[in-house]
Structure 1
Amino acid sequence: MEETSLRKRREDEKSIQSIEHKTTNLQKELGLFSGICIIVGTIIGSGIFISPKSVLSNMEAVGPCLIVWAACGILATLGCNPPQVVIKLLAAAAILLITTVNALSVRLGSYVQNVFTAAKMVIVVVIIISGIVLLAQGNTRNFENSFEGTKLSLGAIGLAFYNGLWAYDGWNQLNYITEELRNPFRNLPLGIIIGIPLVTGCYILMNVSYFTVMTATELLQSQAVAVTFGDRVLYPASWVVPLFVAFSTLGAANGTCFTAGRLVYVAGREGHMLKVLSYVSVKRLTPAPAIIFYGIIAIIYIIPGDINSLVNYFSFAAWLFYGLTIFGLVVMRFTRKELKRPIKVPIFIPILVTLLSVFLVLAPIISQPAWEYLYCVLFMLSGLIFYFLFVYYKFGWAQKISKPLTMHLQMLMEVVPAEEAPE
C-alpha cells in the first residue's frame, strides 16, 4: 500500500514538473506521421473530386489532361443544387467549427486531421481499386487516341493548371508549422518528399478511374465527378461517396486552418500585423487570436461568387505570392550568403518555379481577362492601408484604437505574448 502511494506521488511530481517546464508558447507535439497527414490531408480536399472537369474543359482531351495532373504534382461540392445561401451558411458553420477545434487544442486539431486523412484515403483507395478492376475488365475505350482533338493555348494551359493546382494546394502547408514539428530539419523534407508523390500518384490513378466509366463529354457534364463515378460503379453503396467527399473537404479545411493560423501568428510576432495576433492562449497554448482572425477572413471569402470564381481568385493570389516568395529566395542566395541554411535546394529549382509562377499569373489574365483578378488585386492592396496605419507608421489616433482593442481582446480570450522557450 505504501509502495503504491509512493509510486503515485512520484508520478504526480513528474506531471507537475512537466507542466511547469512548458512555457506559454507553441509546443512541439507533431511528429513525422502528423506532418505527412498535414501534407496529404490538406492537399486532398474537394479539388480532386470536382477539378477534373475544369482541367479537361481547358485541355479538351484525355491524354493532356492526365499530363496536367502529373505536372501539377511535380510542380508542387457535392453535386446537389440547394440554395446558395444554404451552401454558404453551411460552409460558414464548418469554418466556425474547425476554427473552434484548432483554437482549443493543438493536439485535438492534429487528431482531427489524422482521422479525416484516414477517412479520405478510404474513398481514394475505393475509387482507385474500382478503376483498376474496370481497366482489367477492358474499359479502356476512353484512352484510345487520347491526344486527339487537343487544342492548346497558353491561357487554356494556365487555367488548367489553376484548377489542377487548386486540388494540389496544401503542398507548402508544413512550412508554416516548423515551430511545432519535432526534428523539423528531418521531418519537413521527409514529409514533403513522401506526401506529395503519394498524392500525385493517387490523383493520376483517380483520374484514370474516372475515365474508365465516363467519356470526356460526360465528365464535362457532371456536376461532381466523384459522385457520378459512385452512382455508376458503387450503386447501391454510392451514398458513401458524397459522405467521404464531405470528410475530405473538412479535413482539408482543418489542415489549412491549422497551418495558416501559424502564418498569421508569425506575421503578428514579426510586426507585419497587429501584435495581438501573435499572442498565445494561457490555458490552451494555441495561437487562438491568429486562428480566429483566419476563420473570419475565410468566411468573408465564401460570401461572393461561386467555386470557379473562388478557384481563380485564390490561385491568382496564391501563385503571385508563391512567386514573390521563391524569387526572394533566389535574391537572398546572392545578397545574404552568410545566413545559415539547414535545408538547401539546388538554385535551378527556385528559378524554375519563379518562371512558372510568372506564367501562371499572367497567362490567364492575358488570354481571358476576368473581374476576379481585379478584385483580388484590390483586396491585397487594401491590406496596405491597415499595415501603414496600424503597424508601420503607428499613427497616434490609430494606436488609440488598437491599444484598447488589444487589451480587451487579451482579457476576453485569455491570451498573452509568447514566452521564449528554454534552451
Structure 2
Amino acid sequence: MLRNLQTHGYENHCNDDTNDEESGGGGDGETAGNGKDMLARKLSTKGDTLYLERRVGLFSGVALIVGTMIGSGIFVSPTGLLIRTGSIGLSFVIWTVCGAMSLLGALAYAELGTMNPSSGAEYAYLMDAFGPMPAFLFSWISTLILKPSQVAIICLSFAKYAVEAFVDDCGPSDFAVKIVAVLSILVITYINCYSVNLATGVQNAFTAAKLVAVFVVVTGGVHKIFQGHTEHFYNYFGNTTTSIGDVATAFYSGLWAYDGWNNLNYVTEEIKNPSKNIPKAIYISIPLVTVCYLLVNVAYLTIMSPAEIMQNEAVAVTFGIRALGPIAWVIPLSITISTFGSANGTLFAAGRLCFAASREGHLMNVLSYIHIKKLTPMPSIIFHSIITIMMVTSGTINSLIDFFSFTAWIFYGSAMLALLVMRYTRPDAPRPYKVSTTIDKTG
C-alpha cells in the first residue's frame, strides 16, 4: 500500500520529454528540485509516483498559516511580554514588530517557494543555495528536534486547557495532561495519514472556529470600551524596561506566538498554482493574524490592568470570567480548538519536510514512501508522531519553548541568507514572485 519515491526515479522521469510537456513545463517556468533543474507539474496526473497531488487551494493555504500561527501563544504570551517590557506601549511595539518580521520572512519564503515549488521549505532552499551538507544537517535537526518539539508544545497546551475544565481548583495533574496530549497526537496522526482532504478540511474548520473565538474576545473588549473601561490605556510607556536583555527575551514570547508563518512552504508541492497562491496567502494571513493579536491585547486591557496581566498566566480565562459571565466556558473551549488546529497544521507540514528530505536520500529510505491510494506521506507522519510522543512524556512546555525558539530562528535566518546568495549565484532563475531587497545583482 506504500510506494517509494526515490531520487533516481525522480531524475529519469523529469528528463523524459513527453513528461516535461505533460507537466506544462514551458508554460509557467517554475523550476524546482533541490539542486536539480526539473519542472514542477501544474497538476498531478492520475497514478503520478513523483509528486504529491496539488489539492491545497488559496483558502486552505490561508487556513494553514492562520491555523498554525494562532495557537496558544496569544492566550499566554501577553503575560510574558508585559513582564519583560514593563509597559503596554513597548509590548504593543513588540507585537507589531514581530508581525512585521514574520511578514518579511514569509515574503522571502514566497520567492524561494515559487523558485523551487517542491515540498520541504528550508531543506529545499538550503540544498539549492549551499548544497547537500547544510540541507542534510537541517533535515536531521528538524526531524528529530524542531518539528516534534513544536507539535509537543502545542499538544501539551491543548491538553492543559482541555483537562482543566474537568478538575477542581488544585489544577490538572501532569500525568493526566500528558495522557491527553498523547491521545491528541494519535488523533491528528490518524487524520493526516488518512487523507489530505480530511487534514485540510479539519484545518479549515478549526481555523474558522478560532477566528470566531478571537472575534468574541475582541467584541467583548469593544463592548467594554464603549462602557468607558479605558483607564488602563493611559501612560503607555510608564515603567518601560531599560534592559536590552529583557527586550530580547520579550521577542522570544512574541515570535513564538507568530511561529507557523512558514508552514505553507513545507507543502508547496501540494498547492494549486503556487506562484500566485503562496504570495496571496501570505499577504492575507499574516496581516490578519497581526491585527487579531493587537485587538485581543486591547480587549485584555479593558478588563485587567497591566499588573494583573503580569500576575496571571491564564489571562484569556480570566478575561472570559470577567467579560462573558455565564458563557465564560467559551474561552477554554476556544483555546483547545485553537491549539488542536495548530497541532494538526504543524504535523501536516512536518510530514512533508521529512518526506522531501528522505526522497533525496538524506533520511531513512522508508520515510520516502507514500500511501498508494491515499497519497499521504504516512511513514514520515508516523515517525514524527513517535518522536513527538517521546518529547511530550519527558518535557515541559517552557523547557520545550526555550529549546525550540533559538534553534528555529537560526534556520529561518539561514533560509533568508539563501535567498540573498541565490540573487548572485542564480540571477537569471525564473522568479514568478520576487520580494524587494536592497541586495540584487540584476538591479
Shorter-chain TM-score bucket reads: 0.7 to 0.9
SS at match of 1:49: helix
1:144 matches 2:229: no
- Equivalent residue for 2:176, pick from 74, 79, 86: 86
Partners of 2:256 and 2:435 lie apart in 1 by 24
Give the equivalent residue in structure 1 for 2:364. 274
Give the equivalent residue in structure 1 for 2:81. 55
Give the equivalent residue in structure 1 for 2:245. 155
- Within 5 Å, give how 1:362-381 maps onto structure 2: none
SS at match of 1:280: strand
1:194 matches 2:284: yes
Stretches of structure 2 that go unaligned for 5 or more consecutive residues are 1-42, 103-156, 165-170
Give the equivalent residue in structure 1 for 2:92. 66
Give the equivalent residue in structure 1 for 2:138. none
Identity %, equivalent residues: 50
Give the equivalent residue in structure 2 for 1:286. 376
Partners of 1:192 and 1:121 lie apart in 2 by 17
Partners of 2:200 and 2:375 lie apart in 1 by 14
Give the equivalent residue in structure 1 for 2:48. 23
Cα pair 2:76 2:315 within 8 Å, conserved: yes
Cα pair 2:44 2:53 within 8 Å, conserved: no
Cα pair 1:62 1:142 within 8 Å, conserved: no
- 1:335-356, Cα deviation, whole Å (9 max, x unpaired): 2334332322123499xxxxxx
Relative to structure 1, the CA distance from residue 280 to residue 132 in structure 2 (aligned partners, 3 Å threshold; closer, same or farther) is same
1:42 matches 2:68: yes
> TM-score w.r.t. structure 2 length?
0.72
Give the equivalent residue in structure 2 for 1:246. 336
Residues paired across the two proteins, number: 333
| Over 6 Å off, 4+ runs | none
Give the equivalent residue in structure 2 for 1:315. 405
Stretches of structure 1 that go unaligned for 5 or more consecutive residues are 1-17, 351-423
Task: Tell which structure's C-alpha radius of gyration is larger.
Answer: 1
SS at match of 1:27: coil
Cα pair 1:128 1:205 within 8 Å, conserved: yes
SS at match of 2:253: helix
- 1:19-72, Cα deviation, whole Å (9 max, x unpaired): 982424411111101111011111101111111111111111111111111111
Partners of 1:305 and 1:61 lie apart in 2 by 32
Cα pair 1:63 1:143 within 8 Å, conserved: no
Range with greater deviation from structure 2 (265-274 or 117-126): 265-274
- Within 5 Å, give how 1:101-140 maps onto structure 2: 101-140=191-230
SS at match of 1:65: helix
Partners of 1:55 and 1:305 lie apart in 2 by 23
SS at match of 2:241: coil
Give the equivalent residue in structure 2 for 1:389. none
- 1:280-325, Cα deviation, whole Å (9 max, x unpaired): 1112110111111121222233234422222211111110111122
What amino acid sits opposite 1:216 in the alignment? P
Partners of 1:183 and 1:328 lie apart in 2 by 23
- Equivalent residue for 1:333, pick from 423, 427, 431: 423
Relative to structure 1, the CA distance from residue 287 to residue 157 in structure 2 (aligned partners, 3 Å threshold; closer, same or farther) is same
Give the equivalent residue in structure 1 for 2:17. none
What amino acid sits opposite 1:334 in the alignment? Y
Partners of 1:283 and 1:152 lie apart in 2 by 59
Partners of 1:236 and 1:302 lie apart in 2 by 34
Structure with the larger RCO, 1 or 2 (CA within 8 Å, 6+ apart): 2
What amino acid sits opposite 2:46 in the alignment? H
Partners of 1:60 and 1:127 lie apart in 2 by 24
Deviation at 1:223, TM superposition (A): 2.6
- Within 5 Å, give how 1:168-317 maps onto structure 2: 168-317=258-407
- 1:162-183, Cα deviation, whole Å (9 max, x unpaired): 1111111110111111111100
Relative to structure 1, the CA distance from residue 349 to residue 321 in structure 2 (aligned partners, 3 Å threshold; closer, same or farther) is farther
SS at match of 1:58: helix
What amino acid sits opposite 2:212 in the alignment? V
Partners of 1:309 and 1:285 lie apart in 2 by 36
Partners of 2:342 and 2:95 lie apart in 1 by 19
> TM-score w.r.t. structure 1 length?
0.75
What amino acid sits opposite 1:212 in the alignment? T
Relative to structure 1, the CA distance from residue 338 to residue 297 in structure 2 (aligned partners, 3 Å threshold; closer, same or farther) is farther
Deviation at 1:161, TM superposition (A): 1.1
- Within 5 Å, give how 1:407-418 maps onto structure 2: none
Cα pair 1:58 1:157 within 8 Å, conserved: yes
Partners of 1:32 and 1:130 lie apart in 2 by 31
Deviation at 1:260, TM superposition (A): 1.6
Partners of 2:204 and 2:259 lie apart in 1 by 18
Relative to structure 1, the CA distance from residue 88 to residue 183 in structure 2 (aligned partners, 3 Å threshold; closer, same or farther) is same
Cα pair 2:420 2:439 within 8 Å, conserved: no
RMSD: 1.9
- 1:258-280, Cα deviation, whole Å (9 max, x unpaired): 11211111111122211221211
SS at match of 2:276: helix
